[in-house]
Amino acid sequence: MRTRTDSPAPAPRWAVRAAHAAALTTVPSGLWRIALGLGLPVGYSDQVLRQDFHIPGWGTVYVIGLSVVSEALALLTLGLVRPWGEVVPSWIPLLGGRRVRPLAAVVPAALGSVALVLVWSGFASWWTTEEHPAMLGPWHTVVGVLYQPLVLWGPLLAAVTVSYYRRHR
């Protein structure tokens, strides 16, 4: 029988793989947005970039920032299978070395997974049924493929969250 001070069992292999997969789901769309923010020809004309997306300008900061924040949030999934999800790393001021209360990890992760499922579940049908007249040539298909992994982010995060909860209850 485990006591409260015992370390939980290590994360199962499937959960570790799912956490890594979740962290990777934002990479394809993020790289595309970074290229967009840098003004590279990734589906929109220069006129559309300038007028609709304000690139170059604050639109550049927005799309690159969105990519960085999305990836940072996706990387937090790894905390559910790594030691830093159980004990706050010592380099973090005021909290370093303290145990992470399981609900402090589970509640935000569960809410995040629900939000992600709600946001991305309709993406495939929306992207394939709606017209995107500003998108040039085959880029409509390319962007659809690059954003498709985001549909998996929520379910992967949910699975890893359930695993974390089971190991820490």
Residue 6 included in any domain? no
Q: Is residue 55 part of a domain?
A: yes
Indicate whether 4 belongs to any domain: no
- Residue 8 included in any domain: no
Whole-angstrom Cα distance, residue 33 to residue 63?
6
Identify the domain containing residue 21 by its residue range: 13-77+98-168
pLDDT value for 3? 43
**Does residue 110 lie in a domain region?**
yes
Where the chain has pLDDT below 70, the residues are 1-6
pTM: 0.87
Q: Tally the domains of the chain.
A: 1
Residue burial 56-72, b: 16+ Cβ < 10 Å; e: rest: eeebbeebbebbeebbe
Q: What is the pLDDT of residue 2?
A: 43
pLDDT at 6: 62
Helix axes 58-75, 27-37, angle to 10 degrees: 160
Residues 130, 100 contacting (CB under 8 angstroms): no
| Residue 27 CA to its chain's centroid (Å) | 8
Give how far the C-alpha of residue 134 lies from the chain's centroid of Cα atoms, to the nearest Å: 26
